[in-house]
Structure 1
Amino acid sequence: MQVISFLATKGGVGKTTLSYQFSKYLSQHGKKVLLLDLDSQRSLSSMFDLEEVTYTTENIFRGIGEVKVQQVDDNIDLIPASLNLGTSLLSDISMKPNKELLLFMWFGKNYKDFDYDYVILDLNPAWNLLTMNAATASDLIISPLEPSRFGYESHDKVIKGIEGLKEGVVDPRTLESYVIADLKFIANRVKHNTTTSKEFLSQLETFDDVIGVIPEKEAINASMLERKYVVDYLEEKDHMTQSDKKFIDTLENIFNEITKLGDED
C-alpha cells in the first residue's frame, strides 16, 4: 500500500484536481484507492455523493469513533473532510504527544484492515500540523507548482518544510527520521504562449525534482464540473483533436510516473 500526498502551500494550484484525477486514473487501471480529505474546504469530498457522514478525517486526529469509509466510485473509497479541520483542531492536537505522528500511528493501527493499493491524501493549502502529519505518513509527496513567482517560492518553501520536518521528527533511540517520503513537483496549468510561462519553464530546467508539465486545458475544469476523469470527458467528445490526444498522453505519462515512483519506495 502506497501513501501519496498532494501538498501545496497556497490554494488554487490544482492540488485537489490532481488528487481526484489521479484517483480516477488508478481506479481505471484496476487499483483500489482510499482517499483522505484533509482540507476543511472539503473540495475533494464534494466531488462525490456521500451517504450520512459519521466518520471524517477529524475523527482520525481526535482518536474517536470506529473507522468508517464510504465507497464513492468503482475501486475508490473515501474518508471525507470535516469543516472543523481548522484552528480549533490544530490547537487541540498541538497539545498531544507525538503530535506530528498521529496519522502515522492511525495507519499503523488500521493497516491490517485496509485492502488498498494506494491511499491518496488531499491536504489543506498550508504548512501546519495536518500537513506535517500527512508528510510523515507518506511514501511520496507531490506538490503542484503554478507558473508565477509564487510557484518558485512554493518550491523552496515546501523543500525547506520537509527538510525541517525530517530533522525534527526522529526516533529518539536510533535518531532516524520518521519522514521517508520522496518529494516531487508537477508544473501545472502552464500556458504555452505567455512570457510568464516561458520564464517559468526555463526556470524549471534548473530543478531536478519536477516530473512533468501539465498544460492549461479547459477540459480539466469541465471534467471536474461533471465529476469525470478528464480522459473519459475528452473521449466522449464527437471529435477529439490532436491537442486533446497530446494532453491525454502528457497527463497519463505523468500519472504513470507517479505510480512508478511510489513503487520504488
Structure 2
Amino acid sequence: MRPSTERPGGGRQVTIVEVGPRDGLQNEKRLVSTGQKLKLIAMLADCGFARIEATAFVSPKWVPQMADHDAVMRGAARRPGLVLSALVPNEQGARAAIAAGAQELAVFTSASETFSRRNTNCTIEEGLARFVPVIALAAEHGLPVRGYVSCAVDCPYEGPMQPGAAAKVVARLRDLGCAEIAVADTIGKATPDRVHAMVLAVLEEAEAERLAGHFHDTGGLALANVDAAWDLGLRVFDSSVGGLGGCPYAPGAAGNLRSGALVGHFASKGIETGIDQALLASLEDTLEATVFSEQ
C-alpha cells in the first residue's frame, strides 16, 4: 500500500486518498442515503482512486450521517487494486468494520489535549490506549491501520500548536504499530512555513514514507501546504471530492481540499496520480445532481 517516491525512469508519483465519503459527508446537514453513498464510492473508484475512506463505525448519536456504516461497507463494490477503509474509534468499532469487510482501519487522535477532550471525550493518552486492541485486532486479520493526528498545526481552542506536539503523538502512533500516520491541518489555518516546521519535527519520529498530509483549504493555502510537505518527502495526501466537508467538531474547519484541485495541481507538475482528471472533473461538476439527488 505504500507508494514509491520515484517510478523507473525518474517519473514521480503521488498517492491521493479520497476521504469524501467519510470526512466529506459526515458534516453534511442533509441526510445522504446509503444508495447515494454507494454510488459516490463507485464513481470515485471509476475515476481511479485506489484508496477510498468509505465510512466511519462511530455512534450514530454523535455522527448521524454515518449511521449506515455497516450497509455502506458491505455494499461498496470491490475491485482489484481498490482499498476501502473505515474510521473506527475503539475495538467495538474495529470488530464491526472488519466484519463488514473493511480493508484498512483508521484511528484518530489529536496533537491538542483540549481538542481530544472535546472531540472524543478523553485525553490523548486515554485515546491512544483505546487503539491498542484495535491495532492488535487489525494485525490478526492482516489489515493496516492508519492513524490521524488532528490539529497538527493549529487548534480551534488552543491556537497555534508547537511542532513538537504533533511529533510526540506521531511517535506514539508509530510505536503502537500504525502503518501510516496522517498529520492534519484540521481548521485550515496553516501556512507553508509552519507546515514545514511541523513536518520537520515529525520526521524526527517517523520516516516520510510512513506519513501522509491532510490539509483543509479554509484559508486558501492547502495546495501551498501540500507543496511544503511534498518538498520534505511526503508522497501521500488526502482530498475530498468537490471539497466536501470538514471536521464537525472543529469550528471553522469546513473546506476539505477539493480532489480535482489536488489532482490538477500534481498533474501540472508532471506528477502521476493515477486519477482520470477529466472523469473526476465531470463528477465534481455534476456532484449535486448525480449523487445528492435520488434517481
Q: TM-score, normalised by structure 2?
A: 0.37
Q: Which structure has the greater CA radius of gyration?
A: 1
Higher relative contact order (CA 8 A, sep 6+): 1
